[in-house]
Chains A and B, each alone.
Chain A
Amino acid sequence: MSNIIEVKNLFKSFGDVKAVCDLSFCVKEGELFAFLGVNGAGKSTTINIICGQLYPDSGNVVVNGYGFDRNPDEIKSSLGVVFQNSLLDSSLSVYDNLESRAALYGIHGDSFRKRLHELETILHFEDLIKRTVGKLSGGQRRRIDIARALIHSPKILILDEPTTGLDPQTRKLLWDVIENLRKEENMTVFLTTHYMEEAAGADYVVIIDSGKITAQGTPLELKNSYAGDFITLYGVSEEEITKFGRPYEKLRDGYRISVENTGKVTELILKYPEAFRDYEITKGKMDDVFLSVTGKKLTGESDNGHA
């Protein structure tokens, strides 16, 4: 797979605040790329630079083979963005909103109506088309936001915390749509999210903190490197567990022991085989990775401001 987004040595400051500091990463075509960080870590600044809304102090961004210096329009045509907060005109109807936004990409008349019909079918908003956007529920409005982002059939879809505050049913619908688009149109998805289960499904994850990359890799690589494993033992006494000399957590029907990696588990099994009568080994979660890497927990609150 070729790189569809390349970010090299990116710097951006707002006064004394260094929002992004020497950031470099690549996004491969067709992959689901997760960009994680707490509020103020520099996610939105990076996205704004990739989208051409902000100019970096230094560094280089190449999107779909184009640089912003020479081909801003080509880059903008290849990007679809779902912002944290809906930026559609709340007093206009869904149709009026999508019609005006499609026109920005030169899509008018029959071409617009054809694309609108496709999106109505994909995102199931046929019954909302005449409704005023301001009167839609959060989930309905999010579907329209995604339709707006997809109106010009972009190669890259940037989702800035797209599912924050949505009910599970709408969240599932959105992810089903995104997965289908990835499979059928090989669309690249650039995601920021506070939901670690969404990040766990990504092909590649970059975690940033204070404008710098603190960890990157596939979810499996990150779990192996930063989260360790857990052994859960059933039908054993606390006396047997204390022999391991490791921190443990008492559960209702057993004990959970944290270990660095799968090799350490093997060592324990070989050393204390009598204790391993009924057990399971699980990998750490992305929450554990994030906590381990940044020392912070993602709160699930919306990221505001530019940093």
Chain B
Amino acid sequence: MGTLNALVKRNIKLFFKDKGMFFTSLVTPAILLVLYVTFLGNVYRDSFLSAFPAGLEISEELIDSLVGSQLISSILAVSCVTVAFCSNLLMVQDRANGTVKDLTIAPVKSSALSMSYYFSTLFSTLVICIVAAVVCFAYIAFVGWYMSGADVLYLLLDVILLVMFGTALSSIVNFFLNSQGQMSAVGTIVSAGYGFICGAYMPISQFSPGLRNVILFLPGTYGTSLIRNHSMRGVFEEMTSQGLPSEVTEILRDLVDCNLYFFDNIVGVGTMYLILGGSVILFVAIYIFMNVLKIRKN
């Protein structure tokens, strides 16, 4: 355990020594928020307004809060995974510059070494994503706050779980990389593509049924939906109290992927947690197994 702690400490120190990487990772969610508000805010707003029955009056603040909640949930869902990929580069760097040889020359267990990369990435990604969550909460407070204390705690739990998931996924993907060029290529692909396949950039409800069914096999999708559920619950509750029929709020929940349908069966929040948690355990197990297998193959 002492060896694992020392390795995690080393990895975290190395991450925070690279101030450029740290601050870039830290600022990225804030930049994304500005871009989303500027370019997507009105698109989301129009989409919601078209779903309301004609003649129904809903307060501007409520609409703004709904739009803001969708924006922050998209940002957090994407950031938890993409930041993990950016932070989880040390294992590739150690291989590229040969440092891993200086570590494996010692009687260190391959599981300790691989888990040290996992835990250090988890820590650094969590720091960045929790800061991003705080910025997002501040934005929601600015446009209209309807979240309860439980919603905030659940949302933070969602972020933690999604970061664990992103770190495990990036550990498996980065396991196969050996150079800076490969790292950049994978980072670019993940940054560009993950938002689409997890339903952050575009709600899954707007995809074709075939594509929707495929995407629902990806565990990250449920992470996005969990964040959506907990950031929007208060807004929907307030809409109902302002007289919006429950049928309409259900349509809105379908529209923004709070409700996910796996082959026409609605997936409950508890099931989403099980899927995401199970994926984390499975991916971490695969990652450790890959490391053990590599040592034996060598």
What residues make up the interface of A, taking CB atoms closer than 8 Å to B? 51-55, 72-74, 76-77, 79, 81, 83, 85, 87-89, 91-92, 96, 99-101, 103-106, 108, 148, 152
Contacts and interface: CB of A to CB of B under 8 A. Distances in A.
A108 B18 CA distance: 26
Nearest to A109: B2
Nearest to A75: B107
A76 B14 contact: no
A91 B107 contact: no
Chain B interface, >50% SS class: helix
Given A87-B102, A89-B10, A104 B107 contact: yes
B17 A79 contact: no
Nearest to B103: A104
27 contacts: A52-B104, A54-B298, A55-B298, A72-B107, A73-B107, A76-B105, A83-B98, A83-B102, A87-B98, A87-B99, A88-B99, A91-B14, A92-B10, A92-B14, A96-B10, A96-B13, A100-B9, A103-B3, A103-B7, A104-B3, A104-B6, A104-B103, A104-B107, A104-B108, A105-B107, A108-B6, A148-B102
A100 B105 contact: no
A176 to B, nearest CB: 25
Interface centre among A54, A55, A87, A91 (most CB of B within 10 A): A87
A53 B99 contact: no
Interface of B: 2-3, 5-7, 9-10, 13-14, 17-18, 97-99, 101-108, 298
A132 B14 CA distance: 12
Contact of A76 (B17, B107, B298): B107
A73 B13 CA distance: 27
Contacts, number: 67
A99 B105 contact: no
B23 to A, nearest CB: 15
B14 A53 contact: no
A101 to B, nearest CB: 7
The 10 nearest A-B residue pairs measured at CB: A103-B6, A104-B106, A73-B107, A87-B102, A100-B10, A76-B107, A91-B17, A104-B108, A108-B2, A87-B99
A123 to B, nearest CB: 18
B2 A106 contact: yes
A89 B99 contact: yes
Nearest to A84: B98
B2 A103 contact: yes
A99 B18 contact: no
A92 B17 contact: yes
A106 B17 contact: no
A305 to B, nearest CB: 12
Nearest to A112: B6
Contacts of A53: 101, 104-105
A200 to B, nearest CB: 29
Contact of A88 (B18, B102, B107): B102
A92 B102 contact: no
A193 B228 CA distance: 63
Given A103-B7, A104-B103, A104-B106, 20 more contacts: A53-B101, A53-B104, A53-B105, A54-B298, A72-B107, A74-B107, A76-B105, A77-B107, A81-B105, A83-B101, A85-B98, A87-B101, A88-B99, A103-B3, A103-B6, A104-B108, A105-B106, A106-B2, A108-B6, A148-B102
B297 to A, nearest CB: 9
Contacts of B17: 91-92
A91 B108 contact: no
Nearest to A91: B17
A91 B106 contact: no
Contact of B7 (A51, A73, A81, A100): A100
A33 to B, nearest CB: 19
Contacts of A79: 105
Contacts of B5: 103
Contacts of B105: 51-53, 76, 79, 81
B6 A100 contact: yes
Contacts of B104: 52-53
A54 B108 CA distance: 16
Nearest to B99: A87
Contacts of A148: 102
A106 B108 CA distance: 9
Given A99-B6, A103-B3, A106-B3, A76 B102 contact: no
A254 B108 CA distance: 62
Nearest to A73: B107
A39 B298 CA distance: 24
Nearest to B9: A100
A76 B107 CA distance: 6
Contacts of A104: 3, 6-7, 103, 106-108
A284 B99 CA distance: 41
